[in-house]
Structure 1
Amino acid sequence: MIMTQRLTDEEKLTLKTGAFGAVLMVSNAEPGLLAVFRESFAASGAISGASGVVREALTSGPLPKLPRDSALEIESVVLPALRRALGILTEKAPQDVGVYREVVLAAADRTARAHRGVSPAEAEAIDRIRDVLGESS
């Protein structure tokens, strides 16, 4: 039986930074004011569908502070957060690593599809996220 250890507030924020940041990366790849609302709504459905430790981390506590100035700055925060999140889950809740991967990728995909389908820039952002999460296309 796999035991789950409680996550600290800082660890929960790391999971949230990776997940919400992945959505921001995809949304920022093809910016547009109307698109932001549709994309946020679409991503929230994937995030609310999480379970276990992942659900607790993503639906409680404060929202992460994410950069908004440039795609490179966003990526420089988000991709390391995704790596750290996987490490945290591997150590403390290994049964939830797959849940986290699925939720992040589903949220990123729903974000891209929410407004006029997946653009090449959005597909590239999702591929970078998928690479960090260790998922093949």
Structure 2
Amino acid sequence: MSITITLTDQDKATLRTAAYGAVSLIAAADATGTPHKAATNGSNALYAATGLVGHVLAAKSKDIKLKGKNVAELADQVLPALTAAMGLLGQQDPAEAENFRSTVLVAIDAASRTHQSQPSPTVVAMISKITGALYAV
């Protein structure tokens, strides 16, 4: 039995904003001077996603609107989008919601591995906030 998920353009924008925004939060929290490497690693992980989530994240789109002058303003957009994405996917297909959660967790892990040492305390704190938003539903 195959489940068909119907996502509106706004739903897809929410998923992309949430996923790419999570990577942006990790990059912004990386105070060691390699945010571009964090963003690249995380984005590559998102681009490698499979299933419906993979198709949505890989689509060429200009609907990701991440605005903010600081990390707090970015988090104000991204964290609710993560929770909303989990909610909208969970209503239609819990397995695809888990795919989204897993994809974002892999991406933020990849983004946080820009150094050979452990991630900084600020990055670890941001990972915790992102994880909390993913499990808030």
Same fold (TM over 0.5): yes
CA contact (8 A) 2:23 2:43 kept: no
- Displacement of 1:32 after TM fit? 5.6
- Displacement of 1:59 after TM fit? 1.1
In the other structure, the counterpart of 2:130 is 129
CA distance in 1, matches of 2:23, 2:63: 13
CA distance in 2, matches of 1:91, 1:2: 15
| Structure 1, unaligned runs of 5 or more | none
1:73 aligns to what SS in structure 2?
Answer: helix
State yes or no: 1:38 paired with 2:19.
Answer: no
CA distance in 2, matches of 1:109, 1:120: 14
Equivalenced residues, count: 134
In the other structure, the counterpart of 2:79 is 79
In the other structure, the counterpart of 1:53 is 52
| Counterpart residue type for residue 80 of structure 2 | P
Structure 1 segments (4+ residues) deviating >6 Å: none
In the other structure, the counterpart of 1:10 is 10
- Displacement of 1:45 after TM fit? 2.4
CA distance in 1, matches of 2:111, 2:68: 17
Task: Quote the sequence identity (%).
Answer: 33
CA distance in 2, matches of 1:107, 1:13: 18
Q: Answer 1 or 2: higher relative contact order, Cα 8 Å, separation at least 6.
A: 1
CA distance in 1, matches of 2:109, 2:95: 23
> TM-score scaled to structure 1, two decimals?
0.88
CA contact (8 A) 1:48 1:59 kept: yes
Q: What RMSD, in angstroms, separates the aligned Cα atoms of the two structures? A: 1.8
| Structure 2, unaligned runs of 5 or more | none
CA distance in 2, matches of 1:32, 1:11: 34
